[in-house]
Amino acid sequence: MTTDSAGEPADTLGHNSGSPSHRLDGLIDGLCHVLPLRVYYEDTDAGQVVYYANYLKFMERGRSNFLRCVGVDQREMLSRRGQDDVLFVVRRVDIEYLASAEIEDELEVRTQLREMGGAKLVMRQTVKKGPQTLTKAEVVVVSVKAQGRPARIPDHIRKKLQPYVMADGAAANEKG
């Protein structure tokens, strides 16, 4: 059984609804969000391996689905734009490509929230094929107001994210 950061049974899909579409969101495993995906022809380049920029797309899906699974509704954030809420935008990506995936490979995008500051989130993401890490990245995301200026992460979002921030010891011991 999967448990949340407090040791309680986790709703691994992050939703109260049993809708089949929620299975597309991946699941929370402890402090890590896991999004399974398959490599399609459209993801590959002339060398028949995943085109390097597509790993960034895979990671974007992982971050978006992590937020959805912990109860942060990005559609609601967009609808409130210009009011009292914020959007998350990528500020920096430090990525390392270690190995390639090919068509039909089954991958996992693993997302961990390493740090939450006033206006920023630092996430560690890996793309794995079985036990092999193909790509790893540190992604810094900032919250911004409609004008594009950094803004403090609202308390209602902060409360949803806080249980998933990795402690320093957990981050050092995590295999990712």
Alpha carbons within 13 A on the beta-carbon side of 141: 24
Exposure string for 84-101, b = 16+ CB within 10 A, e = fewer: ebbbbeeeeeeeeeeebb
Residue 103: band (very low, low, confident or very high) from pLDDT cuts 50, 70, 90? very high
- CA–CA distance, 50 with 107 (Å, rounded to integer): 11
Residue 134, SS3 per DSSP: strand
- Contact present, 21 and 39 (Cβ < 8 Å): no
**What's the CATH code, domain 20-173?**
3.10.129.10
Residue 107: band (very low, low, confident or very high) from pLDDT cuts 50, 70, 90? very high
Whether residue 4 is predicted with pLDDT greater than 90 in this model: the reply is no
Between 160 and 7, the higher pLDDT residue: 160
For the chain, the structural domain boundaries read: 20-173
Q: What pLDDT is attached to residue 169?
A: 47
Range of lowest pLDDT (51-65, 74-88, 97-111, 133-147): 74-88
- Strand order of the sheet with strand 27-29? 27-29, 32-38, 106-116, 120-129, 132-144, 87-97
List, for residues 113-148, the tens digit of each pLDDT value: 999 999 999 999 999 999 999 999 999 999 998 788
Between 170 and 67, the higher pLDDT residue: 67
Q: What pLDDT is attached to residue 23?
A: 77
29 is catalytic: no
Q: What pLDDT is attached to residue 78?
A: 75
Which among 126, 147, 145, 121 is positioned nearest to 137, based on CA atoms? 126
Whether residue 85 is predicted with pLDDT greater than 90 in this model: the reply is no
Catalytic residue, from 25, 43, 45, 105: name it: 45
